[in-house]
Structure 1
Amino acid sequence: MSVGKSATDNAPKVTSYTYTDRGQKLKETKTNDNTVGYTYYLDGALKSTTERRRTAPRWSPPTPTPTTPTATRRRTSRRR
C-alpha cells in the first residue's frame, strides 16, 4: 500500500505485507521500517502480533576524513 501527498508524490509512504498460504497476514513492514509479525492458531484465529523496531538507523555516521599531519616548528633559541 502506498500513500502520498498527491498523485505525483515522488516519495510516498509505503507499507508492505507478506501473506501465508491461507491468505492471512504474516508480516507487515511499516513506513518507519518497523515490522509486525502475525501468528495464528491452527483454526486460523489470530494468536499474536509482535511489532519490532528497526534495528539500524537509516542514516550512517559521517566517515572520518584523514587528517594531514601539521608541520611542526622547531624552536631554536639563540644563546648569547
Structure 2
Amino acid sequence: MIKGIVDRFEKDIVVVEIKNGDDTQDFPRSIFPKDIEVGHVVYIDGDKVRIDREETENLEREIKELMDDVWED
C-alpha cells in the first residue's frame, strides 16, 4: 500500500507525492474517486484508492497554522 498526497493532475494522470516527500509517482486518474482534489491524502493499493479525509483536514489545518505564523504581523 502506498501513502501519498495528490500533487497535481496531468491529463489522465494523477501525480502523487509519496509519503517521504522526495518522490512522486504517476497513477491513472481512472482509479481515483471522482471527487479527488490536489492536497488529498490517499492510500493506494493496486487499483483501489481511498481518500483519508481526516488526515487531509489535519494536514490542511497544520499548513494554515504555519502560514498564519509566517504572515503574522
Same-fold call, TM > 0.5? no
Q: Greater relative contact order (Cα 8 A, min sep 6): structure 1 or 2?
A: 2
TM-score (norm 1): 0.22
TM-score (norm 2): 0.23
Greater share of residues in helix: 2
Greater share of residues in strand: 2
